[in-house]
Structure 1
Amino acid sequence: MKKILVVTTNVSKYPNLERATGLWLGEAVHFVDAMQKEGHQIDYVSPKGGYTPIDPHSLQADQMTELDWKYYEDQTFMDKLGTTLAAAEVNAENYDAIYYTGGHGVMWDYPENESLQKIASTIYQNGGIVSAVCHGSAGLVNIKDASGQPLIANKKVSGFTNTEEAALGLENTVPFLTEDALVSKGANYVKGDDWAAYAVADNRIVTGQNPASGGSVAAEVLAVLNTAN
């Protein structure tokens, strides 16, 4: 059994828009389900700790799968999202992998959170996995490796595409574009078709492109864990 830290946002509203945001529920559900089926333990962390808001757009009928509904109605799972650990109180030495979920809110509380950066850097330096999906990849941009360089430099990395952001009409609302931010840190940005599931693994960094990719990230993370065993 491995211990995996799942990161969620505390941001419930766009700071510059009268619109709710938060965790894109499916991005947590499909990853967590795959990990738990393999017997791995999940803890939940957010920058400030406590409550994880759910993006209401992720709960619309056309976005929810049967699995999403199962977890949404699971009080134990939802209680865990409501009582996350604070990043500053987490001991990174206890974890084998970290997974950054997405939702637009993360763009305002992931990138500059030094506690999350230190957790991920420590996990990676200890031979663990750093993973993310969709906007969650924005949480990787300021993580440093042991030499102080960007962790994602010269590695294949995916995340929400510029064209997907433009399709939502939010390219001028977000503080930066995820794809551009990853490229700016020297990552070898890769992607599949817009809205299709896509994930890539490169030297213990596993990333997925969009909301459809949580399960694909989980499969890649499991493959790396199984190889390590």
Structure 2
Amino acid sequence: MTKKILVVETNVANFAGTNHLTGLWLGESAEFVATVQAAGLAVDYVSPNGGYVPLDPRSMKPNYVDDNTLRTYLTHDYQTRALANTLKTNQVNPDDYVALYFTGGHGVMFDFPNNLELQALVKTVYGNGGYLCTVCHGIAGLLNVKLADGNYLIAGKKVTGFTTSEELLSGNSKRVPFLNEKVATSHGAQFVKERPFKSFAVQDGQLITGQNPASPQAVADQLLTNLQA
């Protein structure tokens, strides 16, 4: 049976209370998907509400779209399953997946952190020995998950994600509801990082996290190394 990965995407198209557009950062989904599919893994897509996933318009600029991202984006499968008609959380069986992958884009800051259905998927996959992968703002999907003992899942773990300095450089530090680095640290994680916008991923056990939009390839490569071991 082909191993499957569940890719988690946002439904949020704008920063709350503003007309400033956001959504899924295309490359953080498509580049990761291109890499794992090339290795023979199957992919499903889920979002908190199911259905349509908006793209952050900035992520469509040519300098952010590499060949793998473009090739994946242009396929009928990706257009339909990843962007037009994602699954709802109640339509997926977490036992089917060897890994969850939380994509980024600022939209996830609003619909990932406190979604109990996503947290249930996380805990089941983790409990089954599966991998929890994130990139950039996608770390928000793990920040508030608590295990049966009441401790945060990320407590005592090395993780990374979009840093406070990167948030300042992006010009969105006043628009986001919280700062990933700050919350991760307050929940007991050891937040590690490289210089802004440099590809970087870190693994701690079943957690594989990437820092920024330059990092989905690094996350995918690290996941594949584990799955092929």
TM band (smaller chain)? over 0.9
Partner of 1:19: 20
Letter of the structure 1 residue corresponding to residue 140 of structure 2: A
**Given the alignment of the two structures, is residue 99 of structure 1 paired with residue 101 of structure 2, yes or no?**
yes
Q: What is the letter of the counterpart of residue 16 of structure 1?
A: G
How high is the TM-score relative to the length of structure 2? 0.96
Preserved contact between residue 103 and residue 138 of structure 2 (Cα < 8 Å): yes
**Structure 1 gap segments, 5+ residues each:** none
Task: Establish whether residue 123 from structure 1 lines up as the match of residue 104 from structure 2.
Answer: no
Q: Is the 8 A contact 1:137 1:159 kept in 2?
A: yes
CA distance in 1, matches of 2:131, 2:18: 35
Normalising by structure 1, what TM-score? 0.96
Partners of 1:159 and 1:42 in 2: how far apart?
Answer: 22
The residue number in structure 1 matching 2:40 is: 39
Query: Runs ≥4 in structure 1, deviation > 6 angstroms?
Result: none
Write out per-residue CA displacement over residues 116-135 of structure 1, whole angstroms, 9 at most, x where no aligned residue: 00101110111100110000
Q: What is the aligned length?
A: 227
Gaps of 5+ in 2: none
Q: Which moved more, 1:70-79 or 1:92-101?
A: 70-79
Quote the Cα distance in structure 2 between the aligned partners of 1:20 and 1:71: 23
Counterpart of 2:224?
222
> Offset of 1:72 from its aligned partner?
2.2
Listed as ranges, the matches of 1:1-229 within 5 Å are 1-81=2-82, 82-227=84-229
The worse-fitting range, judged by mean Cα deviation, of 67-76 and 96-105 is: 67-76
Percent identity, please.
46
User: Which residue identity does 2:212 align to in structure 1?
Assistant: N
Looking at structure 2, the residues matched to 146 and 90 of structure 1 have their Cα atoms a distance apart, in angstroms, of: 22
Displacement of 1:147 in angstroms is 2.3
Q: Deviations over 1:36-68 (max 9, x none)?
A: 111111000000101111111000122111222
